[in-house]
Structure 1
């Protein structure tokens, strides 16, 4: 059994990255798009470090997160990383790690309702063009 208190922000981000990506891929398949190249181009608007940083910034600005969720985000954002940012600046990379940590935390604590609520919120914001993701 996994003990949540033993998982650091980067470990939660490792899980959150995969969890969020699956939800986004399923959403994109529901659009009827079947060409993988097109799906990958569409996905970057949701799952790139820039997109995730923009979404978490919007969540904070719009007071979408609970105090606990904000704490988890900040722990992930501030956690010591052992990898370097690829194709983005360090600040954006750290923010996206915090975003992924939050998704991982909600998944590992079995808070699927809240996880799906936040992912649906993210999808709506990206599709409405309210982020820097497009």
Structure 2
């Protein structure tokens, strides 16, 4: 049974929930394609891409570079302003921006904007690789 969903009407934390898994999938595929096979190295590399700090950094780059559409910026604002419990290992602002990044990824995925999703995720990965 298929149910029609409208990502524009979904709660930001629901979008972020989906975005978290989608972004991690892209990152894991990227790391494996680079040839890394040791489980601990895979995990360490993945964390460097999916941490709240890394996601916040990427989203700030996207915003500073004017990379997002008005609709995407609206999703980011909603995600950034979503009420959630901030983990002890990160500051609230970093966590809010990482949640906004994940909400954007979840929105694009659920809205089936796969070409745009690919572009932004690969841009994120390139930005983080340059930073390393």
Q: TM-score, normalised by structure 1?
A: 0.92
User: Where does the alignment leave 5 or more consecutive residues of structure 2 unmatched?
Assistant: none
Number of the residue aligned with 1:62: 65
Change (3 A) 1:54 1:64: same
Q: CA deviation at 1:37?
A: 0.6
Asked if 1:20 corresponds to 2:15, the answer is no
Number of the residue aligned with 1:103: 105
Residues 8, 107 of structure 2: 8 Å contact kept: no
CA distance in 1, matches of 2:93, 2:58: 14
Asked if 1:11 corresponds to 2:14, the answer is yes
CA distance in 1, matches of 2:8, 2:61: 27
CA distance in 1, matches of 2:64, 2:13: 23
CA RMSD, aligned part only? 1.1
CA distance in 2, matches of 1:27, 1:4: 26
Q: 1:51 aligns with which of 34, 54, 70?
A: 54
Report the number of matched residues: 129
Q: CA deviation at 1:4?
A: 2.4
User: Where does the alignment leave 5 or more consecutive residues of structure 1 unmatched?
Assistant: none
